[in-house]
Amino acid sequence: MWTEGIIAVDWGTTNRRAYRLDAEGVLQAELKDDQGITSVPAGGFPAAIANVRERLGDLPLLMAGMIGSNRGWVEAPYVACPAGLPELSAHLSRIERERAAIVPGLSYLDDSRADVMRGEEVQLFGAVAAGLTAPDSLVCHPGTHNKWARLEGGRVTSFRTVMTGELFSLLSKHSILSQWLHTSVTVGEAFRAGVRKGMEGRALTTELFSIRASVLLGRREAHEAASFASGLLIGADVRTGLGDADPAAEVVIMGRPELTRLYVAALDEAGRSAREVDGERAFLAGIQALVKEIA
């Protein structure tokens, strides 16, 4: 059913992005909105799927992201690492009556920790398939839950999640710092100072409160607080991501440009160069690679 063209959907917790691709994989139309899975009422996924088709056409659907979680439409069990495109394609959750399939996420488990991802795996394999990243590389995927994924031979062998984006969001909405965290985050000295402090490895709970004290006592300007706080969190994130990384491995930052540029700057403070890859481009490449696997 995939030979006539498809609708590819990256369906997250708070956002939905869908793309109509023709039989050759050429993008013809797209939609982006805030209709993530948490906005869909109980029993409402068939209507939400119909809405996508009304807007983009009556084509088969290939979906990735939280749509396949236990909070989504149909749960697509995780595929254990190490894994590559063949494993993803072999474990699609198919909904035949809807001419739809959901891409499974990836899981990682060892003696000391457990981790999961949904959606990022399509971008990771897409980046390799399209030559956007080397088959052996370290990929950082900024977002609500940032991922650091190790690729070996084009397969994800391990990864680690850092709740950087969600923590910044919670702080900006519900913490004592919230009044100062609504200005734009810019790559300047405040951000870089935060990165350096975050990479020191001290307790974040202490360093975060010091932001309030620094503003109240005139050590830091209020308009710098958001950039410093972002740098502090991203610095700790980068310290974690680089902790057991090969110093010679290429580092790729993949995702939305407004986030990737922050991580490139943070890695520069860590003395590592990094290359940016557009996450949307990688997602579409991953979908096309999957279609070739299952066609």
Using a 10 angstrom Cβ sphere, with 0-12 exposed, 13-18 middle and 19 or more buried, the burial of residue 8 is buried
> Which residues on neighbouring strands pair with residue 161, listed in sequence order?
147
Cα 3 from Cα 6, distance rounded (Å): 8
Cα 96 from Cα 259, distance rounded (Å): 37
Average pLDDT, the chain: 94
Cα 166 from Cα 177, distance rounded (Å): 15
Q: Which two tokens stand for residue 84?
A: 């590559």
Cα 169 from Cα 164, distance rounded (Å): 9
> Which residues on neighbouring strands pair with residue 114, listed in sequence order?
109
Residue ranges covered by each domain of the chain: 1-75+93-103, 162-277
Provide the 8-state DSSP code for 111. S
N-terminal to C-terminal alpha carbon distance within the chain: 8
> Which residues on neighbouring strands pair with residue 59, listed in sequence order?
none
Distance of CA 71 to the CA centre of its chain: 18
Which letter, b or e, does each residue of 162-175 get, where b requires 16 or more Cβ atoms within 10 Å of its Cβ? Answer: bebbebbeebbeeb
Q: What is residue 245's predicted lDDT score, i.e. its pLDDT?
A: 82
Q: Could you name the CATH architecture of 1-75+93-103?
A: 2-Layer Sandwich (3.30)
**253-273 pLDDT, tens per residue?**
999 999 999 999 999 999 999
> Which residues on neighbouring strands pair with residue 80, listed in sequence order?
107
| Below-50 pLDDT ranges, the chain | none
Same fold yes or no, 1-75+93-103 and 162-277: yes
- DSSP-derived 3-state class of residue 152: strand
Q: Residue type at 182?
A: H
Residue given tokens 């050759």 in the structure block: 24
Cα 174 from Cα 98, distance rounded (Å): 41
Q: Residue type at 31?
A: L
Rounded to 5 degrees, what are φ and ψ at 278? -70, 125
Nearest 10 degrees: Cα torsion 141, 21, 38, 82: -40
Q: What is residue 2's predicted lDDT score, i.e. its pLDDT?
A: 64
**53-70 pLDDT, tens per residue?**
999 999 999 999 999 999
- Strand 93-95 with 146-152, pairing: unpaired
> Which residues on neighbouring strands pair with residue 29, listed in sequence order?
20
Cβ(295)–Cβ(2) under 8 Å?
Answer: yes
- Strand 6-11 with 61-65, pairing: parallel
Q: What is residue 1's predicted lDDT score, i.e. its pLDDT?
A: 66
**209-237 pLDDT, tens per residue?**
999 999 999 999 999 999 999 999 999 99
Q: What is residue 112's predicted lDDT score, i.e. its pLDDT?
A: 92
Q: Answer yes or no: CATH 3.40.50.720 is held by domain 162-277.
A: no
Q: What is residue 51's predicted lDDT score, i.e. its pLDDT?
A: 94
Alpha-carbon distances, residue 193 vs 63, 67, 173, 182, 198 (angstroms): 40, 38, 23, 19, 9
